[in-house]
Amino acid sequence: MRLSFIGMSGTGKSHWSSRLVEQGYKRFCCDDLIEQRLQPELTTPEGTMISMGEWMGFPYEAHYPEREAKYLGYEVEILTEILNHIEANPNHNRNIIIDTTGSVIYMETDLLERLQRLTTIVYLDTPLAVQERMRSAYCTNPAPVVWRDKFNQQPNETHEAALARCYPDLLASRTHEYKKWADITLDYHLLRQPAFGVDDFLNEISNVYTVVEKAL
């Protein structure tokens, strides 16, 4: 099967895509590939590395819009290259997993349509009950989050208060887009049951959706 995982950071995309590697899948991790291209900018003058989240920063910081745009530009390049690779190697791409970024839904429609045509898109759901925990984790240890137009700060509002107010709107807008593009939606709590393993994961996909080998 050729699969793509979509969803917010922290929903388990990297965990399950890594588990599929153990089953013989070839994995493309978009965040890792973006990080490779950003490596010169992630290296401090002292030679140490900072995370992509530290580099991108928060949406209220002056450098954020430029870095958000650069991140998205690399994301377009990398996703295009992955899909080109799949189309160019039809006989070597039977079991592939694309671990997309949380911002994949901001790609141009034609690129998302290619992703949907060439792979089965699996959305790892984010229930309301865990969204506050995700916001707290983002504020404490920021991942590179693309906000687009979903952040605004009101007069006399602190940065923290603005993030707390806007983060649910960001998740709601993304959830709508994730569900729009997904072939399959997998339940957050199901994936976290102690006995739930990679075979169960693959069976769940087969049970929910009959995966048709999509034509190249």
Domain assignment of residue 112, yes or no: yes
CB 74 within 8 A of CB 38: yes
Domain assignment of residue 214, yes or no: no
Token pair, residue 32, equals 């890792």
Q: Which domain holds residue 70?
A: 2-208
For residues 51-62, give the mean pLDDT. 94
**pLDDT one-digit tens code per residue, 89-100:** 877 768 999 999
For 170, phi then psi, to 5°, come to: -60, -45
Domain assignment of residue 192, yes or no: yes
pLDDT of residue 216: 59
User: What CATH code is carried by the domain that includes residue 126?
Assistant: 3.40.50.300
Domain assignment of residue 17, yes or no: yes
Domain assignment of residue 178, yes or no: yes
- Confidence bin at 143 (pLDDT 50/70/90): confident
Domain assignment of residue 216, yes or no: no
DSSP 32-85: HHHHHHTHHHHB-TTS-B--HHHHH--TTSTTHHHHHHHHHHHHHHHHHHHHHH
Percent of the chain with pLDDT over 70: 94
| pTM score | 0.89
Residues 34, 40, 45: CA angle, nearest 5 degrees: 140
Percent of the chain with pLDDT over 90: 68
Domain assignment of residue 213, yes or no: no
